[in-house]
Structure 1
Amino acid sequence: MALHRPGRLAHARTALRLRAATRPRSVVLIDVHGELTAGDLQGHLQLLERRGAERPRLGELPPWAPLRQVLVTALAGHGHLDLRSSGTTGAPRVLERGPLTAPQLRTLTDLARRIGVRRGARVATAIPGVHAHGLLLALAALSAGSPLVDVSHLRVVDRVALLHRTSPRMLVGTPVHLADILAADRELSGHVPLRIDRIVSTTDVLPDELRADLARHWHARVHDVYGSVETGTLTVDGRPLHGVEIRVRDGVLRTRTSFTRRRWLVTDHGEIDEQGSVHVTARADAPDASPGMLRDPRGVVRLLQSQDGIRSVHLRFVPDEELGRRTVAHVVLEEEEEHEEGRVITPHGVRALVRDRLGASSVPREVRISSRGR
């Protein structure tokens, strides 16, 4: 993916105008509502500009905003981005960023090259577009001419069905998203699993067992992408990207990139091996938001009890040898949900929902699902 403009948004808008003029029917995005073409997207932007209204802000969109709405809002911002964190170590927060600089673009171009983004190849994303990783992926795909498949916020059966219908070459998600899709594909696809060449895991630490399961099930190459809103993307499969410097002291990683204005920032706990590969072992901050505890347990209960098919939710803490204590969410389904074909509500799906709406630090360590009265 070649980027030559001084900002990702400027390049994306230029690429969109060119496609709208030369190939207005070329597909930009596919979701449950159908196909969004280059001409459609350009028309939405022109309509916003003709209205002369105050520019919409990404930070004001809800966590469940569809990717097509996120794209229109981002491109209407004329170079200004409101990047929302994933909430790994606390409540998701919004950071305003100006146009991307040339050094930042070189880092992102190296990222696209390493994970294999290429023109015309469909890229499915399970990451909500309001989050920084989801938004930058969408803008990168638009610039590269890669149609996006938006499977974020879908029920598990709808997610797998859309993936089968669109046959993306690449699937991007956090580990909890990927585990959800993997379990659903095993259960619902029978002897015809999805055909995906590359899997890209981002935001959270990718467990070795899950990485092996993903590669084995889909016969795919799995990439582990590490970074944050503050530092930008740092590594692919442990190897630092162009322009990224990483050091380790006392088991803590320190990073300097063009996104940090060349200042050194503490990121996470980790190590660097003799080959120069970076290995993240744990989050460095917010110890009270570790995988064993929850940042907002009441918010988790309210969210889950508002979902169709869930009768009740109970959280409890149990002893854990590694974490001290860990959170277990007991989810009781309505009777009709228990018998619905393909079972919409799964443990992985519950964890993905909480992560998307409340942030990764609110995700229960374990989810147990039972039917009413069991």
Structure 2
Amino acid sequence: MDFWSPDATPVSVVAQARAWLDGPDDVDLVVATSGSTGQPKRVRVPRAAVLASVRASAARLGASGPWVLALPPSYVAGVQVVVRSLVAGHEPTLLERDGWPTGDGWFVSLVPTQLTRMLSSEPDLEALRRAHTVLLGGGPIGASLRARAADAGVHVVATYGSAETAGGCVYDGMPLDGVAVALGEGGRIRIAGPTLFTGYDGRPDLTAEVLVGGWFLTSDAGRLDEDGRLVVIGRVDDVIVTGGLNVPGPAVAERLRGHAGVSAAEVLGVPDPEWGNRVVAFVVGTADLEELRDWVGAAHPRAWAPRQLVRLDAIPLLANGKTDRQALLALVQVGR
């Protein structure tokens, strides 16, 4: 059943999900990737994979129950919220229509941008304190954001996954039961297990590139910490090769977000005739380039410091809350 539609609404997706769960078990769920780096792909996920994800998530969280839909309903994270709630026997709460539940012990999935804003809103914060768990995924999760949430009494679990893995399949760095995680060349993250997709709709060529020997080869790089937990460094192409050095863009962006004159930041590599690629900082805030170069250089090698600053009123986002990388690159390409 195709959940990807520009006309999808929370109400229509709930109805679709209920019909899909009650219908033939050989009908795949079809959702789109975010398209953050280009054209979205239509991902086919079998019902067995979705239900395996639902069961493994509930087992890891130690509970199941009603969910609040606060994400776009046609992407995998939003569909999973709906399915988890229905499987647990509860109609999902639609945040746009219904507001927050009045009771406690419910669940919600958010992206970092949403959580950041909600922690600054007293009504939202009061509601999140009543949640059993806030699943947080869909983008880099800084230590400072986790600390703010913990200090505010909000229970957050960081998730990693994608449409190809039926949503989050690694919680706080540890794979869900049945899921295997390994690192390939250059730290490229590979995932296997019962939650994998069957392929990209109509694109067997792309499917063959990333589904190899029962493993899904992601586009992300990672490492394992001393406790064996997966630490996601960023997309493989987030490593900016500049002047012969490898600069991890997400690490630079996280450092920039800690500056008092920065409220939001992203870092990308842009082709440059001298450096091969130059490190460009896209920043919401008042800090100037030299301030930010010094700030980065105080914590990391000076060569990691951005060579260009693009000031913005807001970081452009896709409908699912992820950074619109193509929009950022277009700003530099048109000479802004």
* 2:141 corresponds to: 206
TM-score by length of 2: 0.62
Q: Distance in 2 between matches of 1:106 and 1:216?
A: 33
Aligned pair in 2 of structure 1 residues 168, 126: CA closer, same or farther (>3 Å)? farther
Q: Distance in 2 between matches of 1:193 and 1:133?
A: 18
* 1:228 corresponds to: 162
* 2:5 corresponds to: 60
* CA deviation string 1:246-269 (max 9, x = no partner): 222433322223415613414411
1:84 paired to 2:32 = yes
* 1:100 corresponds to: 47
Shift in Å, 1:329: 2.3
In structure 1, list runs of 5 or more residues that go unmatched: 1-55, 296-313, 331-346, 366-374
Shift in Å, 1:58: 2.1
Shift in Å, 1:241: 1.4
Q: Distance in 1 between matches of 2:57 and 2:126?
A: 34
* CA deviation string 1:132-189 (max 9, x = no partner): 11102211110112342222xx5xxx99xx226565632311111111222223xx67
1:139 paired to 2:89 = no
Is 1:198–1:223's contact at 8 Å kept on the other side of the alignment?
A: yes
* 2:262 corresponds to: none
Shift in Å, 1:286: 6.9
**Percentage of identical aligned residues:** 21
In structure 2, list runs of 5 or more residues that go unmatched: 198-210, 241-248, 251-265, 271-283, 294-303, 329-336
Is 2:104–2:131's contact at 8 Å kept on the other side of the alignment?
A: yes
* 1:281 corresponds to: 233
Aligned pair in 2 of structure 1 residues 116, 150: CA closer, same or farther (>3 Å)? farther
Larger RCO, structure (CA 8 Å, separation 6 or more) = 1
Is 1:248–1:254's contact at 8 Å kept on the other side of the alignment?
A: yes
Q: 2:267 aligns with which of 292, 311, 324?
A: 292
Q: SS of the residue aligned with 2:82?
A: helix
Aligned pair in 2 of structure 1 residues 327, 66: CA closer, same or farther (>3 Å)? farther
Q: SS of the residue aligned with 1:195?
A: coil
Q: SS of the residue aligned with 1:140?
A: helix
Q: Distance in 2 between matches of 1:271 and 1:207?
A: 16
* 1:71 corresponds to: 14
Question: What is the RMSD computed on CA atoms of the aligned residues?
Answer: 3.9
Q: Distance in 2 between matches of 1:170 and 1:82?
A: 24
Is 2:224–2:230's contact at 8 Å kept on the other side of the alignment?
A: yes
1:111 paired to 2:57 = yes
* 1:175 corresponds to: 112
Q: Which amino acid aligns with 2:3?
A: L
Q: Distance in 1 between matches of 2:125 and 2:226?
A: 43
Q: Which amino acid aligns with 2:121?
A: A
Q: Distance in 2 between matches of 1:209 and 1:173?
A: 16
* 2:311 corresponds to: 328
Equivalent positions of 1:212-251 (< 5 A) are 212-217=147-152, 219-232=153-166, 233-249=168-184, 250-251=186-187
* CA deviation string 1:5-29 (max 9, x = no partner): xxxxxxxxxxxxxxxxxxxxxxxxx
Aligned pair in 2 of structure 1 residues 203, 326: CA closer, same or farther (>3 Å)? farther
Q: Distance in 2 between matches of 1:150 and 1:323?
A: 43
* 2:220 corresponds to: 268
Aligned pair in 2 of structure 1 residues 358, 327: CA closer, same or farther (>3 Å)? farther
TM-score by length of 1: 0.57
Shift in Å, 1:363: 9.0
User: Deviating runs (4+, > 4 A) in structure 1?
Assistant: 164-168, 188-194, 286-290, 318-323, 362-365
Q: Distance in 2 between matches of 1:128 and 1:190?
A: 21
Aligned pair in 2 of structure 1 residues 123, 195: CA closer, same or farther (>3 Å)? same
* CA deviation string 1:37-57 (max 9, x = no partner): xxxxxxxxxxxxxxxxxxx84
Q: SS of the residue aligned with 1:106?
A: helix
